[in-house]
Amino acid sequence: MKKILFLFVILVLAGGGWGYYQIQQVLNQSVSVQPDQLLTVKRGTTGKKLADLFEQEQLVNDAKWLPWALKLQPHLNNIKAGTYSLNGVNTLADVLTILNEGKEVQFSIRFTEGETWREVKKSLQNAPHLAQSVQDTHDEELLQLLELPTNSLHSLEGWIYPDTYHYVPDSTDLALLKRSTNRTKKLLDQLWAERDDNLPLKNSYDMLILASIVEKESGIQAERGLIASVFLNRLKLNMKLQTDPTVIYGMGENYHGNIRKKDLETLTAYNTYIIDGLPPTPIANPSESALQAVAHPEKTDFLYFVADGTGGHKFSRNLSEHNQAVQEYLRWYRQNNKDKK
C-alpha cells in the first residue's frame, strides 16, 4: 500500500512538473509581431477565446495551453478589454503583461492655431482609428450637440482650441470635438469676465471673432497686443477694419494666393473693406495668446499697421505716417526681390 501511495505521489509530482514546464514553455514562447501591429481584445474574452485570438492574429502557432497558463498564473488573468500596441513585445508573457496593465495604444491629432473649421474636419477624417460619427452632420445640429451658442451662419469656425489631443482607438470625433470646444468655452468665459474696461465688443463671441483676425494677422506673439489695439481703436471710431485675412476668408476657394483690387471691391459678408465692424463669425481658430491680446490689448492710439519686411509690422497713428511706412516697405520689397525676376 505504501509503495502504491509513493508511486501515486511521484506520478502527481511528475505530472505537475510536466504541466508547469508546459505552461512556462507557453509563456516564454516567442511571438511573431508585425511593425505597428495592434491587438484588440473584446470585453468578456475568456482564456479559450484569447488563445483563439492569438492564433488568428498569427502571434503563435499553437496556444492551446494558454487557458491553463492563465488559471495557474492568476496575476496574468486580469485581462482588460481594449486595443493595444504590440511594439516591443517578444514573448507571450509580454503580451499578457500589456493586456493586464490595460494601457491602450494612443493616437494623437493636432489642431493648429489659425486653422479653419474645414481644415479641422479634414484632419478628423484622416485620423487613424477614430470613429466618424458627425462627418455628415450639419453644422447647425453640431452646434447643438457641442452645446455651443448659435450664430447667424451656424458656423463652428473659431471654436476649436488649438492643441494636440490624444485618444484611444474607436473614440469618436464628436468626443474629441467636445474636449476641444469645451476648452475654448471655458477660456473665453474667463477672459470675457477678466477683460479690460471699455472694450468696444458686445459679447464674448465678438472677442472670439476679433481674436481670430489677430491670429491671422501676425504669428509674432509679442506684437499681438498692438494689433488688437489697432482694431479696437478702429471699432471705437467706427472705422472699417480693412484687414486682408477676412477678405481671403470671404473669397473661399476663389483665393489663389493674392488679393486683387477687384477682390477688395467685391462684397462678401467678410470683406471688412466694405462692411462695417466685425465679420459675422471668426475666420480661424485663435490661440490663447490672440484671445489674451484682445482681452488685454496694449494701450495705444495706433490706427494702422503694415509689414516691415522682417516678419513684424510697423504701426502708425495717422494716414500720413502709414503711407510713409507703406513706401518704406515697398522699397524694401523691391530691393530684396529685384534679383528674383
Residue 22 lies in a domain: no
If asked whether residues 94 and 146 sit together in one domain, one would say no
pLDDT above 90 for 338: no
- The total number of structural domains in the chain stands at 2
| CA distance to 8, 49, 86, 144, per residue, from 94 (Å) | 36, 18, 9, 45
pTM of the model: 0.84
If asked whether residues 96 and 153 sit together in one domain, one would say no
Please state, in angstroms and rounded to a whole number, the distance separating the CA atoms of residues 8 and 74. 27
Domain that holds residue 97: 29-101
Residue 147 lies in a domain: yes
Predicted local distance difference test score (pLDDT) of residue 20: 57
C-alpha closest to that of 110 among 183, 43, 162: 162
Predicted local distance difference test score (pLDDT) of residue 252: 93
If asked whether residues 136 and 242 sit together in one domain, one would say yes
Residue 289 lies in a domain: yes
If asked whether residues 164 and 44 sit together in one domain, one would say no
Residue 120 lies in a domain: yes
Residue 23 lies in a domain: no
Please state, in angstroms and rounded to a whole number, the distance separating the CA atoms of residues 207 and 195. 10
For residue 91, report the phi and psi dihedrals to the nearest 5 degrees. Answer: -125, 170
If asked whether residues 262 and 201 sit together in one domain, one would say yes
Q: Which residues of 179-206 are buried (b: 16+ CB within 10 A; e: fewer)?
A: ebbebbbebbeebbeebeeebbbeebbb
User: pLDDT-based confidence at 4, cuts 50/70/90?
Assistant: low
CA torsion sign for 331, 332, 335, 340 is negative
Please state, in angstroms and rounded to a whole number, the distance separating the CA atoms of residues 63 and 79. 16
Q: Which residues of 22-60 are buried (b: 16+ CB within 10 A; e: fewer)?
A: ebeebbebebebeeebbbbbeeebebeebbebbeebebb
If asked whether residues 97 and 116 sit together in one domain, one would say no
If asked whether residues 228 and 183 sit together in one domain, one would say yes
- 172: Cα separation from own chain's centroid: 13
If asked whether residues 116 and 197 sit together in one domain, one would say yes
What average pLDDT does the structure give for the chain?
A: 89
Amino acid at 198: N
pLDDT above 90 for 241: yes
CA torsion sign for 167, 168, 170, 171 is negative
Please identify, among 82, 101, 120, the residue that sits at the C-terminal boundary of a domain: 101
Please state, in angstroms and rounded to a whole number, the distance separating the CA atoms of residues 225 and 123. 30
Interval 38-58: pLDDT, tens:
999 998 888 899 999 998 988
- In the chain, % of residues over pLDDT 90: 66
Alpha helices in the chain (DSSP H): 2-28, 47-56, 66-72, 92-101, 117-126, 139-145, 173-194, 204-217, 224-236, 244-251, 261-264, 288-295, 319-337
Please identify, among 101, 120, 151, the residue that sits at the C-terminal boundary of a domain: 101
Q: 62: which 3 cell numbers?
A: 499553437
- Averaged over 149-166, what is the pLDDT? 94
- Averaged over 251-276, what is the pLDDT? 94
If asked whether residues 81 and 203 sit together in one domain, one would say no
pLDDT above 80 for 60: yes
pLDDT above 80 for 13: no
If asked whether residues 68 and 191 sit together in one domain, one would say no
